[in-house]
Amino acid sequence: MELVEWVLEEVAQRPHAVRAQDGPLILEVGCGSGAIALSLLSQLPQSQVIAVDKEEAAVTLTHENAQRLRLQDRIRVIRLDITSEGRCTSLLPWSPMDLVVSNPPYVFRKDMEQLAPEIRSYEDLVALDGGDEGMDIITHILTLAPRLLNASGSIFLEVDPRHPELVSSWLQSHPDLHLSLVGVREDFCGSAPVPACPEDYAIVWLLCDHLARILACWTPGSPCVGAAQGEVKSAFLSPSHGHGSVTSHDGCF
């Protein structure tokens, strides 16, 4: 799994970017079966994961898979719609986090009809449809992440090969997020890009701008004030139980 491999590489190469005394605290948005989250937990023995999905079936499946792999003590699985108004409030008790990872819905709506028949017949199309330009959930993640990440945190997303340029352009119009697109890896069906091939994808890596966020986050009203100040003060907030209507299946961390 390319996304997992890249995350593991960066954690190994940038140990200063995660909590000094523990492994990374990771947020996965749209956990599905838990494949990404559980792969990272297996490969990073000191890591902990907050995994969210809006579907109860996905929350249940991820929790069951965590138990089967005996990883349930290091993962908290929460039913949460990342587009909902209260999403940040529900996740702030666990900030600052080190990494945000996601394989979000990113298929362009106009490309949905081109999906293979077996995909259209058996996959949840809502979990694939990313809106007109495939960016609907991606932009929600990019807006939320700076409020939760530590000041040098990273975001890894699987996206369409056309998205790196769109993400870069979108970030230019949102400089207050202090995010930089620093890396792209692409995977195509053949030796060259084939626009009609639905298996094509890219992985994008974004970084928080440490100095810019530290300075900006001491400004009242900044969107990242909670996460950055918490990181500067070396305060790790223990999760509290019960956040309104948020449903969780949690371990013991």
- Please list the residues that pair with 102 across neighbouring strands: 29, 157
**Residue 71: per-residue pLDDT:** 97
Please determine, for residue 228, whether its predicted confidence score (pLDDT) is greater than 80. no
How much is the pTM? 0.80
Task: Give the pLDDT score at 156.
Answer: 97
The pLDDT mean for the chain works out to 79
pLDDT of residue 248: 53
**Averaged pLDDT, 87-98:** 89
Calculate mean pLDDT across residues 163-191: 86
Q: Which CATH number fits domain 2-250: 3.40.50.620, 3.40.50.300, 3.20.20.70, 3.40.50.150?
A: 3.40.50.150
Phi, psi of 241 (to 5 degrees): -90, 135
